[in-house]
A and B are shown apart, each in its own frame.
Chain A
Amino acid sequence: MSAAVSTDVGTQVAGLYFYGIAPPGTALPRGLTGVHGAPVQVLPLGEVAALVSDLDGRAVVGLPVEVRDHVAVLDAVAAAGPVLPVRFGTTVDDVDAMGAAFPAPQQRDHADRLRDLADVVQMTVRARFVQDAVIAQLVAEEPEIRHLREQTRQHLEEETYRARIRLGELVVAGFERKRAEQAAALERAAAPYAVELRQRPTSQVDDVAEVAALVRRRDTATFEGALERYAARTAGLVAVRLVGPQAPYDFVEGA
């Protein structure tokens, strides 16, 4: 049955863009539009429903605007009720193909997960170091960094290449040590008000942490308050950003 639904932009154009799975009775916000401005529809699939919009022959190629549309639809639905996000960029040929993709056991699994998530939303926290503040601390705390800094400042770049690399290496290692401390503090601040926390892998030297939290709808303000207090405590050293309520992107299995 895979041939009926698989899609390749180059050779064949899918009919529907697929955002996520929601309970069959899901009421969409009035006028909700998605990718390419098309109206979002609730397509019943037995125990669940698919959130889709017509592609009208146009491809989805991964443009920023398409990413925003995908996320905006899911977050708008999540603001009022549960939704299981489908991976960005998923398309399907037509309504029949969609039906074939969801046999009864799978419908039941998704319906169960939707019930689990009925009362929660995702809140995503991103904490980053204020680079200069951390570097200033490291210069103050570590004699070798201080020494290398003075040495490399007073000489030409070409003459101090190795010293510069060593300096950068020490500074990057300093960020790593401080990251462990701060990430733990952030988790302590957020955990009491969340049902579940998941750490995302960080990728940049100045990242402290990126944490996805599953928070009960009635607790979102309390959760925000806890992060506000953490942000106040670390002001000047760590910049904390909170996004949400969102769909539970980090809490559906990615397979």
Chain B
Amino acid sequence: MSAVTTTRSGGYLDRPSSASLADVINIILDKGLVIDIFVRVSVVGIELITIDARIVIASVDTYLRFAEATNRLDLTQTGGKDLTELTEGMMRGGARGKSRGVIDSVKEAFTGDDDDDDDSGQRQEEPRRRRPARQGRS
């Protein structure tokens, strides 16, 4: 009945066969029955980490991080004719980026070197790749 848990479909949907810690972090924080007279045990540290992550969004740090990501972005790698035309004045090289280029540049720009300030515990397990099957379509 639960064959779904171990099969992967299509190729666009990321369908892990089991949940990662990032998938369940919300569950442990505030989900589930609370039995009045029991006392919860030592999840305080985990809650604090997540609260920090939530606060950090509207901060100067976040803005600077996204400014940096915007500056670092190589627009020739991100596909789309319109975009290439818009930016050809400052870019060298042709419009070789199609959607594969997006994937590659995402990998380059965002694997491993950011997210260290606010949510590394939550995010580092998530694969940033897409399924290989999608390349056939681009």
Q: Which residues of A contact B (CB under 8 A)?
A: 1-2, 5-9, 14, 18, 20-21, 59-62, 64, 67-68, 70-72, 75, 79-80, 84-92, 101, 124, 126, 130-133, 135-140, 145-146, 148-150, 152-153, 164-169, 171-172, 200, 203-205, 210, 217, 220-221, 224-225, 227-228, 231-232, 235-236, 239-246, 249-250, 252-255
Decide: A254 and B64 in contact? CB cutoff 8 A. Answer: no
Chain A neighbourhood of B58, CB < 8 A: 172
Docked complex Cα distance between A101 and B126 (Å): 39
Contacts A7-B39, A131-B110, A200-B26 known; list 13 others, CB within 8 Å: A86-B35, A87-B34, A89-B41, A91-B41, A136-B78, A136-B79, A137-B83, A138-B70, A139-B75, A203-B57, A204-B123, A236-B79, A244-B5
- Which chain B residues numbered 73 to 98 have a C-beta less than 8 Å away from chain A? 73, 75, 77-80, 82-83, 86-87, 90
Contact sample, A vs B, 28 pairs, CB 8 Å cutoff: A2-B36, A5-B38, A20-B33, A59-B41, A68-B21, A86-B34, A87-B35, A89-B43, A90-B32, A90-B35, A101-B35, A131-B109, A132-B77, A132-B110, A136-B79, A136-B80, A165-B60, A167-B71, A168-B67, A204-B53, A205-B66, A227-B13, A228-B9, A235-B130, A235-B137, A236-B79, A240-B13, A255-B34
Interface size on B, residues (CB 8 A): 79
Docked complex Cα distance between A169 and B70 (Å): 11
Interface centre among A7, A92, A133, A232 (most CB of B within 10 A): A133
Docked complex Cα distance between A28 and B5 (Å): 18
Docked complex Cα distance between A87 and B39 (Å): 10
Residue of A nearest to B15 (CB): A242
Chain B neighbourhood of A64, CB < 8 A: 21
Q: Which residues of B contact A (CB under 8 A)?
A: 1-2, 4-5, 9-10, 12-16, 18-19, 21, 23-28, 30-46, 50, 53-54, 57-58, 60, 62-71, 73, 75, 77-80, 82-83, 86-87, 90, 99, 102-103, 105-106, 109-110, 119, 123, 126, 128, 130, 134, 137-138
